[in-house]
Every structure is written in structure tokens, then in C-alpha cells.
Structure 1
Amino acid sequence: MKENRKAIVFQTGNGEYGISIKNILSIEKLDKITPIPHLPSYVSGMIKVRDELIPVLDFNKLLYHVEMSDLHTSRLIVLKTESITFGIIVDEAKEIVDIPEQSLKQVGILAYSNAKYFSGVVNLSDRLITMIDPEILVESLESIKDIKEYVEEKKEEMHA
């Protein structure tokens, strides 16, 4: 029997996206985000979640180059990768779904260089969910090195 995987499904723009639950730390209501100057426009700023300072990415801006419309109903999905913990702002965190391995398809557009972090498309009977690999996402971002350095500096200042 093929293995099922669990993923959090969320909505951003008109699309449904999924991230494996193994990378999800939490889903939060948005609190005050502290803006950081001179970072790429898709970085909304920094936020403190459970005493950890994390960068916040606006997923609408990253994918569609449009700012998130309603921050009051938006959610923050906190993700952990090997190199950094970060948050993504999404329109709505919808559900946890089981993803049967046979429903995960590789699609030609996924090879497009600006979307290397799309790991496949889940073809369920009534919908398509684009899967995202947070490890590839964070490493593909322009200025990630600067963001990581900034986070480390702020952590050191907080503990000094």
C-alpha cells in the first residue's frame, strides 16, 4: 500500500497550496509585524512567536506581486527548515489533508526557474493543490543570506 502524507492546505490569491506538516511549527493569527528597511518587498518584517524572532514573508507578494489584502483575516504559518524558521502570511489556512502518493504529480511548469520550490501538484477528485517545499523556497529567495544575518544579529541583541 502506498504511503499517505499529510499537508496543511492554504489559500493565497486564487490558488490552493500545500506544505507538508513536518515543516509546520504553528498557525497563528497575525500580530504586530515590525518592518525592516532595505529588504525585498516580499519580506513584511519580523515578528516574535513564542519568544523567537522570525522573518515574515508575504506569500501573495512573493507569488503574485500583490500585497495581502486583509491582514485581519490572514494567517501566519510558521515553518521550520534546516537553515531558518520563518513565517508566511496566507489568506486562509484551510485544512489538513492526506495526500495519497499516487495523486502527487510532477508538472512541466514546475521546472520553471522562478518556481523551483513547487514540488508537485496534488490532483484530487475536485481540486488541484500546488505543493511547496519550504527548504527550496527559502534557499531560492533573493537576499536570504542578509535575512538570516539580520535574524542572528537581533537574537544576539535580545540575549545580550
Structure 2
Amino acid sequence: MKHDTRFSAMLHLLLHMADRNQPITSDELARYMAGNAAAVRRTMAGLRAAGIVRSGKGHGGGWTLGRPLQAISLADVYAALGTPDLFAIGIRNPAPSCLVERAVNASMQETLGEAERLVQARLQSITLASIAAELRARMAKLPLNPKEPHDA
């Protein structure tokens, strides 16, 4: 099963953007992800519509954060991406005639609903600023403390 990785990818890119004092192009962002610029632009469009990022065209253009890291929760980013499915499991038949399957569906829907509410609450409680602080603490423990922590 293929996982939807846009959420973690966008968090990754937003943190790279936070370290920049100037706009960053889609091509540069794509290099951080070993991806392509068109996919970055498509995915960033939802974040732009939500006010999380801004974009500028032309010479000196690119992507910038639309608000401070402490004003961006993980729930904000998740919602801007269209709230992708959190779980790969689900019910087999939404309208079964079998009473056993109805009982299974009711139990699963209640359990998955509760789990989604817990995840949403946790996403709301975490800001990009808190992740950036954790990143700085991790970097401080590195022997050579690199200037920019990326995988490209």
C-alpha cells in the first residue's frame, strides 16, 4: 500500500523555508525532496490558499512563509492539504445486509472516529515553531553542527 507523504513533505519544506530570509523557488524546494518543481507547486497551492505560504513570480520570486512558525499548527497544514486519510483501514461495505458486518462497522467507525479526534487534537497542539526548536536542539548535539540540515 502506498502512503500519502505530502503532509510530512510539506512540513519538511516549511521548516527549510523558515531558515531562509528570502524567497525560495519551487526548483530549490524540489531538490530538498528529490522531487520535481511542478509537484511542489501543486501541493503548495493548498498551503497558499490557507495563508500558510505566499508566492511571488518573476526575478526574485518564490515561496515564503505567510505567517510566523508559532502561528502554524500541524493541523493547519493537514487541513490545507485537504485532510488526507489518516488510516489505511476502513469498512468493507458501508451498507451491509449482514447483521454481523453491521456490528463490525459500528465498532470500527466508533474506534476510528475516536482515533481521528485524538490525532486532530494532537496536530492542533504542535506548531512548526516547536518542531524548529526540536531541530535546533538536535543540531546542537551534532559534532560538526552543519549550516543547513538537508538530505540533498
- Select the structure that is richer in helix: 2
Q: So what's the TM-score if we normalise by structure 1?
A: 0.20
